[in-house]
Structure 1
Amino acid sequence: MPSKSRSVIFVLLTLALIFQIFPTISIPVVDRIYLSTYNGRKFGVFGWCTAKSSECTSPRIGYEILPLNGTTEVASLFLPSRAKRSISKLLIVHPISLFFTFVLWTLALALNMHNFGQSRKILAGAVLWSLLTVLLSLLSFLVDILLFVPYLAWPGWLVLVSTVFIAVASSMMCIIRRAVSLRKYEKLRNRDNVELVPLRFSNVNSNSSKPTASEGVSDTQESAAWQHVAPDQPELVHRAV
Structure 2
Amino acid sequence: MLLKLLMLAMTISSIIQLLSILTVPVTHTLKLAQNDNYSFGVFGYCNKTTNFCTNIKIGYQTITSDSNDYAFTLPSLAKHSITTILVVHPIGFVFNSILVICLGILLYNERFLYSKNYIMGLLLLSWICFILCLLGFLVNLMLFIPNLCLLGWLNLVSTILIVFTSSFLCVLRRTAFLKEYQSLYSDNNIYIENDDIVESDNNHPNEFMLYHIDEHTRHID
TM-score (norm 2): 0.86
**8 Å CA contact retained: 1:83, 1:147:** no
- 68, 81, 88: which is aligned to 1:86? 81
Structure 1 residue 69: Cα displacement: 5.7
Name the CA distance, whole Å, in 2 between partners of 1:24 and 1:169.
Answer: 22
SS class of match (1:147): helix
Structure 1 residue 207: Cα displacement: 1.4
TM-score (norm 1): 0.79
Structure 1 residue 195: Cα displacement: 2.2
- 71, 74, 87: which is aligned to 1:73? 71
What is the percentage of aligned positions where both structures have the same residue? 31
Q: One-letter code of the match for 1:23?
A: S
Larger radius of gyration: 1
**8 Å CA contact retained: 2:114, 2:179:** no
Tell me what 1:15 maps to: 12
Tell me what 1:63 maps to: 60
**8 Å CA contact retained: 2:24, 2:39:** yes
Q: One-letter code of the match for 2:14?
A: L
- Answer 1 or 2: which has greater helix percent: 2
* Divergent runs of 4+, >3 A: 66-72
Q: What is the 5 A alignment of 1:161-180? A: 161-180=157-176
Structure 1 residue 33: Cα displacement: 0.4
**8 Å CA contact retained: 2:50, 2:69:** no
Q: One-letter code of the match for 1:118?
A: Y
Structure 1 residue 82: Cα displacement: 8.4
**8 Å CA contact retained: 1:55, 1:68:** no
Tell me what 1:238 maps to: none
Q: One-letter code of the match for 2:155?
A: V
Tell me what 1:111 maps to: 106
Q: Say yes or no: does 1:95 pair with 2:115.
A: no
Q: Say yes or no: does 1:197 pair with 2:193.
A: yes
Q: What is the 5 A alignment of 1:127-146? A: 127-146=123-142
The alignment covers a number of residue pairs equal to 204
Give unpaired runs (5+ residues) of structure 1.
211-241
User: Deviations for 1:62-116, whole angstroms, at most 9, x for unmatched residues?
Assistant: 11126586455254xx35x885211111111110111111111111111112122
Q: Say yes or no: does 1:124 pair with 2:113.
A: no
Q: What is the 5 A alignment of 1:28-39? A: 28-39=25-36
Give the RMSD, CA atoms, in angstroms: 1.9
Give unpaired runs (5+ residues) of structure 2.
207-221
SS class of match (1:37): strand
**8 Å CA contact retained: 1:140, 1:159:** yes
Distance 1:72 1:179, change over 3 A: closer
Structure 1 residue 179: Cα displacement: 0.1
**8 Å CA contact retained: 2:20, 2:152:** yes
Distance 1:46 1:173, change over 3 A: same
Q: One-letter code of the match for 1:84?
A: K
SS class of match (2:9): helix
User: Deviations for 1:162-195, whole angstroms, at most 9, x for unmatched residues?
Assistant: 0000111011011001101101110111122122
Name the CA distance, whole Å, in 2 between partners of 1:154 and 1:87.
Answer: 21
Tell me what 1:224 maps to: none
